[in-house]
Structure 1
């Protein structure tokens, strides 16, 4: 199950799947800049924008803010 919106905030390192990678399941790792999904949960994952400008749906939270 993908993490709910309440567990995601700017500054967290996460793995996302971008739209073009959904078929392959390739994950991209980055730091959350903004949350784009308003609902508390989403069946495909909460959509976020990374600090690099990439947009995708969160599959996993890697570290709780700034690295462990």
Structure 2
């Protein structure tokens, strides 16, 4: 999911789907300063057993991806 800073709102809209189906997630976490904290916190509040990883191919922090695996 890469929606230019709207990732948290999209996750909030997908709350029931995430709780019910526990999908794998790949979410951009670099549009807002607080994304690296708020996105994992919110996802874990929906399903605490998610394993969360960060991936980055750019040394300056752009293109940081939050990967969540149930």
For normalisation by structure 2, the TM-score amounts to: 0.30
Which is higher, the Rg of structure 1 or of structure 2? 2
The answer to which structure has the higher helix fraction is 2
Higher relative contact order (CA 8 A, sep 6+): 1
The answer to which structure has the higher strand fraction is 1
For normalisation by structure 1, the TM-score amounts to: 0.31
